[in-house]
Amino acid sequence: MPGRPVIAGRTTADAEGEVVVLLIGMRVNRFWAVHHWGRVLFAMVRMQRELSRDKSRGLLRHVLLTASPRTYYVVQYWESKEKLYAYAHAPEMFHHKAWAIANRKERAGKVRGHVGLWHETYVVPEGAYEAIYMDMPAFGLAAAHGQVPVERRGRRAKDRLAYRSRTGERQATGPSGG
């Protein structure tokens, strides 16, 4: 099977410090309104392509998922919340243009409920996330931050949640370390 190689055994994500996760998606409310929701779906794809071409924007990895025949979403892992905000507000990027169009339509009363949009952003401090993968290629958090043998972070979930990196220690105590 093509793609990333399977890593035998148990592994975990090599994330250090806080983790930024954005879930962003759409829901098809009226299947027959393809001319409405199709544009939204293609806009999502265009934004992913735009971010994939410019790594300096801060998107580490993404995965497109579906929750049902109506709901499609992207899980994105970001370097920082600052880079996520910078992308969302950059006037030269497609996201800014797409939201301007959506906001204009809403103000003009031209949104008719054909397609729903949503997002959730999580900024998770170190010690509040953990991951385990068994006989898996790098996926999710591990694809974004790297994959290491589970023993480096602890065999049990409570041990992995207790793990503290130097990056996490600096974030908790401030830049001076105290």
Q: What average pLDDT does range 30-38 have in this prediction?
A: 92
> Rounded to whole angstroms, how far apart are CA atoms 89 and 99?
10
Specify the pLDDT at position 1. Answer: 43
Q: How many other C-beta atoms lie within 10 A of the C-beta of residue 44?
A: 20
Judged by DSSP in three states, 157 sits in helix
Taking CA atoms, 33 is separated from 73, 117, 156, in Å, by 19, 15, 48
What is the spatial distance between Cα 1 and Cα 87, in angstroms, rounded to a whole number? Answer: 34
pLDDT of residue 170: 54
Check whether 156 has a pLDDT greater than 70.
yes
User: What would the mean pLDDT of 38-63 be, rounded to a whole number?
Assistant: 95
Mean pLDDT of the chain, nearest integer: 90
**In this predicted structure, what is the pLDDT of residue 137?**
93
Quick one: pLDDT band at residue 2, thresholds 50, 70, 90?
Answer: low
Cα→Cα distances 38→32, 44, 103, Å? 10, 10, 18
Band (pLDDT 50/70/90 cuts) for residue 3 is confident
